Chains A and B, each alone.
Chain A
Amino acid sequence: MIALRGSYEMGGVPEIGNIELLCAAGFMLVAGLVSYRSAMGLEKDIAISTLRAFVQLIALGFVLGWVFDNQSWEMVLLIMFIMVLNATQIARGRIKSCPSGITLQLFVSLLITSFTMVFLVVELIVKPELWYDARVVVGIFGMILGNAMSSSAVALDRTFSSLDARSDEVLALISLGATPLEAARPSIMSAVRAGMIPTLATLSAAGVVQIPGMMTGQVLAGADPLSAAKYQLVLLMAISATTTLCNIAVVRWCFRKRFSSDGYYLDSTLRGASRSR
């Protein structure tokens, strides 16, 4: 039997002290130094992202602690709503060459798919005593939303970059009578596929390469590994379904931004000039 060092608090999870936290930040310092020595130019991004993660997660720790003690269904829904707003802003920032006017579509797609899935999982499968139990709902929602956000950002970025790369082909297809959807279909298919690759890779690697985060957390907290595996399976299925639905919805909804109302492709010279006919 291997004994874990360190103090055990909060349901059996080994407590991490401030010095240990600084040690973790040291890992990123090493990564930053290697980037600097290799002239990769990633130091600034590494520093900002690390600092941001520290601030956000510590703040989250405080906020969730307070929410768990004073929870109400209105507050849980409000937190979820704010999380979707943040996810929309972050995903929007990751899309290069992004047409204007897709923020609402991205927000609504993330909101509907993630909200629907989390309530299905919580109410049909997990069934907590309180239907809005923040410990269950917010945690699961964060995992589902985070994956949907990342994959929809990849899918949208790939949609617009693929359409631009295929602009000659799109022009030829439109001139032969294709609808925007018919002309854009290869780009849409490759984009949705690209957005799904990380999720599918996680599904394939689960259990044989990687022990997913939620399961690791439960096992660390002393849960039965089989029970933790079942929870993780439920979550992986929910994440996969949500990312698929969200990707398809947001890409199908937004690809049209690269086409005029008259159905022709807006190449880089025409963007912003599509109102006249």
Chain B
Amino acid sequence: MTKSCEEGARSPKKCVEPVLSVRDLVIDIVHEGRILRIIDAISFDIYSGEVIDLVGPSGCGKSTLLLTVARLRPKTSGHMSICGRDEQEMDGRSWRQSVVYVPQKATLIGGSVSDNLLIPWKFSCRKKVPAPKDDILRAGLDALGLRDVELDRDAKRLSGGQAARIALLRALVLKPPLLLLDEVDAALDDESAALVGAYVRSCAEAGQAFVRVRHRPPDGFATRRVYLAEGHITSARSDGADDSVERKL
């Protein structure tokens, strides 16, 4: 992560280059012995402050695209850079500290809620980085509608919706420049999903960027929507008008 982007995570104006730049990305998958091209030479940029909804029919490759951008699966060809740094300059783990993917299926390990939120600080890449204090974790839980969940509660006693928000908060407190959220609100009721949307938008306004795969109706918190179908993306308006249309919906 470049210094400019670390600062950019707090102040979007300081990071002028795209957070993520993707050029001519091609992704082939092997399905029943046949090679299928599910992403066909797409290019796009994502800037800090953006909340992009990636929509499209089921099975069109949305999750595969997010996993590839997070370097959690291989691409066939193409080029990516994060905060101006070429992917070739970074190993996968360094890249994934800047681009954090949150899967739909929330995975919590044994221990308390606090233990789960602080898992990333047990990894060698963050040994020297101070872990967030309890008051920061508490504020995050409150913002996501988890006021009744204590930090020392056993993670096994959480509902599916609570676990989904804990898994999301675990990625949010890392404050990476780009977060890729793969249907993280699928297990939530409308009220909780709205709280999550609002919190994501507030984090974006503080300088982060988000891509959300969602199958819910537009919630008004996206700054633009991108459609993926048959290996190509088409972009909706990115001037904010889209946002107002979604709000009306």
A interface residues (Cβ-Cβ under 8 A, vs B): 168-169, 171-179, 182, 260, 262-265, 269-270, 272-277
Please determine whether B92 and A262 come into contact, CB atoms closer than 8 angstroms: yes
A176 is contacted by which of B75, B91, B171 (Cβ under 8 Å)?
A: B171
Whether B101 contacts A270 by the Cβ 8 Å rule is: no
Alpha-carbon separation in the docked complex, A169 to B167 (Å):
11
Kindly report which residue of chain A lies nearest to residue B72, judged by CB atoms: A264
Contact check, A176 vs B74: say whether CB atoms are below 8 A apart. no
Contact assessment for A276 and B76 in the assembled complex, using a CB-CB cutoff below 8 Å:
yes
A199 to chain B, nearest CB (A): 27
Binary CB contact string for chain B from 117 to 142 against chain A (1 if under 8 A, 0 otherwise):
00110111110000000000000000
Known: A172-B167, A174-B96, A175-B70. 20 other contacts (CB 8 A): A168-B107, A169-B107, A171-B107, A175-B102, A176-B174, A177-B126, A179-B123, A179-B124, A182-B123, A260-B74, A260-B92, A263-B92, A263-B93, A265-B72, A269-B29, A272-B30, A273-B29, A275-B74, A276-B77, A277-B75
Taking a contact as CB atoms under 8 Å apart, the answer to whether B74 and A277 are in contact is yes
Quick check: A175 and B101 within 8 Å, CB to CB?
A: yes
B84 to chain A, nearest CB (A): 20
* Chain A residue at minimum C-beta to C-beta distance from B124: A179
Contact check, B91 vs A262: say whether CB atoms are below 8 A apart.
yes
Number of residue pairs A-B, CB distance < 8 angstroms: 78
Report the minimum CB–CB distance from B159 to chain A (whole Å).
Answer: 18
* Interface majority SS (helix, strand, loop, mixed), chain A: loop
* B109 contacts partner chain A, Cβ-Cβ < 8 Å: yes
Q: B170: CB under 8 A from chain A?
A: yes
Given A264-B73, A270-B73, A178 contacting B123 (CB threshold 8 A): yes
Query: Quick one: closest A residue to B167, CB to CB?
Result: A172
Selected from A169, A171, A274, the residue in CB contact (under 8 A) with B109 is A169
In the assembled complex, how far is the CB of residue B2 from the closest CB belonging to chain A, in whole angstroms?
A: 17
Rounded to whole Å, the gap between the CB of B65 and the closest CB of chain A is 15
Q: Does B97 belong to the interface (CB within 8 Å)?
A: yes
| Given known contacts A176-B119, A178-B123, A274-B74, A171 and B29 CB-to-CB distance under 8 angstroms | no
Assess A182 versus B124: contact at CB under 8 Å? Given A174-B96, A276-B75: yes
Check A263–B91 contact: CB distance below 8 A.
yes
Given the interface contacts A176-B119, A176-B123, A177-B126, does A171 sit within 8 Å of B174 by beta carbon? no
- Are the CB atoms of B92 and A264 closer together than 8 Å? yes
User: Chain B residue with minimal CB distance to A172?
Assistant: B107
Question: B213 in the interface, Cβ–Cβ < 8 Å?
Answer: no
Rounded to whole Å, the gap between the CB of B58 and the closest CB of chain A is: 17
State how many angstroms separate the Cβ of B69 from the closest Cβ of chain A: 11
